Structure 1
């Protein structure tokens, strides 16, 4: 190999990857002017100063990066692709449908839906910081024509009526206080024979004020308002839905969370560098292991609920 060939290969190796370009965008750098490694070193130094100590309160850039490191591109919760498929495939999504996600955060799930089913997705979320980041990430993925992330308040949810064929939500509504009001708003936003798929933290045979939940509630970033699964079904029925599935997926969900952290530990042991994000990931681990501990004790459950708007009889 000639010296010229070596230089050519080095040039290719030095070319910024999509991941490094995205990191640079996220932190306000221009990779055309600054070497990638210098960018990464400078961004970590600045984030240590700007984000403060690790916390699960709010969505600083470091926390956003830590959950993406754990759960995958654009994901703030543990929803692997096989779970995304189980949530969406039964609803027969296709390019003719208008789809909405509730609490989609960085819109990783929404982008997966848009690419998998070639459909349009509106991502509703309560955190403006995540909405802004989601819109930028969607633009960088070239999916801005398929996905729109918008700010909302689920305790006073006012989506456009009959704007969606399908609505789905994953662990996004357990902190909503007035769930019946929210379910009614979801029902109004669905078109005739529209479908709603939800997975969320619920109870089974235990009241939401049970003392076993007290410590966990205090450590949650947002105050939980948990309902028994049968009470959830009742409220959805009263909102106008036909509820046909209420499946306990706690064991699968817990295993997925544990796998995500085990995978991170393995990658770290194999030499992957996480820098200052490691402490943030540990803090995130405390949050999730608290949830898993309650699941192990049988107090906290995860249910997948499927409902639809009944056919109108003329």
Structure 2
């Protein structure tokens, strides 16, 4: 994930060891976003990564990056994040799983990505762009590092409108305590097109996550409670039960709208 202060400098890590352990209990080891491998595969449906160079933007603790490396056959996949605790965890996991020959993890301060122009055949991201407030600057960077003819495939947490967040949404964001820079699908699509992407699409996943989150909350209150408490302590778990309860309200209203995003960079010689 990506965390910045208002001036663009790196803040204290939002995904520390406690967060990594807690979300690992809930979503699977190395996963900092919901849905597990099945949702990653849905984001990538129809995208051929075999033999390609891939960027996983906002890779977090590396569970998704390593899943793609094991199952999609890329020549190389680079996981990128600005937070050092998750990068360290991801690097250790790559060694443990014997994937260091095709996976590497890179960290830098927020801002321009530390990659060359046209470096990647595909850019992937899973629920990380929410932490970057300037979507136009973000998509300009992703477009820059993507090769002509390359594909962008992502999921992110969006808000369902362009207006002021509702009181329930403000309560949820406050409960999360994270640097959420939420925007609507219209805003995302406009930023993608402005950057030069074509064939831009946005598919709401609210209906899917609305029910998944309801199950997550039930498991936190029930069968996962003792395991989560053993991992991070009772106060941390109770805080997240309150967060999931607040999130359920804005999922049920449709204001919180996880979304799949897809676009292409025009091939060489094509006009956007």
Shorter-normalised TM range: 0.7 to 0.9
| Larger-gyration structure (1/2) | 1
Aligned to 2:158: 202
Aligned to 1:98: 53
Aligned to 2:211: 255
For residues 295 and 221 of structure 1, do their structure 2 counterparts lie closer, same or farther at Cα, with a shift above 3 Å needed?
A: same
What's the CA shift string for 1:225-244, capped at 9, x where partnerless? 22221121011001000134
3-state DSSP of counterpart to 1:236: helix
Deviation at 1:283, TM superposition (A): 2.8
Aligned to 2:107: 151
Per mean C-alpha deviation after superposition, the further-off stretch among 159-168 and 185-194 is: 159-168
8 Å CA contact retained: 2:200, 2:263: yes
**Ranges in structure 2 where 5+ consecutive residues have no aligned partner:** 1-12
For residues 154 and 91 of structure 1, do their structure 2 counterparts lie closer, same or farther at Cα, with a shift above 3 Å needed?
A: farther
1:107-256 correspondence to structure 2 within 5 Å: 107-119=62-74, 120-208=76-164, 211-256=167-212
For residues 244 and 150 of structure 1, do their structure 2 counterparts lie closer, same or farther at Cα, with a shift above 3 Å needed?
A: same
**Ranges in structure 1 where 5+ consecutive residues have no aligned partner:** 1-56
Counterpart CA distance in 1 for 2:244 and 2:109 is 24
Counterpart CA distance in 1 for 2:200 and 2:188 is 13
Aligned to 2:6: none
For residues 199 and 153 of structure 1, do their structure 2 counterparts lie closer, same or farther at Cα, with a shift above 3 Å needed?
A: farther
Counterpart CA distance in 2 for 1:203 and 1:268 is 29
3-state DSSP of counterpart to 1:91: coil
8 Å CA contact retained: 1:207, 1:228: no
8 Å CA contact retained: 1:154, 1:182: no
Counterpart CA distance in 1 for 2:116 and 2:177 is 29
Given the alignment of the two structures, is residue 62 of structure 1 paired with residue 18 of structure 2, yes or no? yes
Q: Give every structure 1 segment of 4 or more consecutive aligned residues whose post-TM-superposition deviation is greater than 4 Å.
A: 208-212, 263-266, 271-274
Q: How many residues align?
A: 256
For residues 259 and 93 of structure 1, do their structure 2 counterparts lie closer, same or farther at Cα, with a shift above 3 Å needed?
A: farther
Counterpart CA distance in 1 for 2:73 and 2:32 is 23
Given the alignment of the two structures, is residue 75 of structure 1 paired with residue 42 of structure 2, yes or no? no
Deviation at 1:116, TM superposition (A): 0.4
For residues 61 and 249 of structure 1, do their structure 2 counterparts lie closer, same or farther at Cα, with a shift above 3 Å needed?
A: same
For residues 285 and 148 of structure 1, do their structure 2 counterparts lie closer, same or farther at Cα, with a shift above 3 Å needed?
A: farther
Aligned to 1:42: none
For residues 76 and 285 of structure 1, do their structure 2 counterparts lie closer, same or farther at Cα, with a shift above 3 Å needed?
A: farther
Deviation at 1:151, TM superposition (A): 0.9
Compare relative contact order (CA 8 Å, sep 6+) and give the higher one, 1 or 2.
2
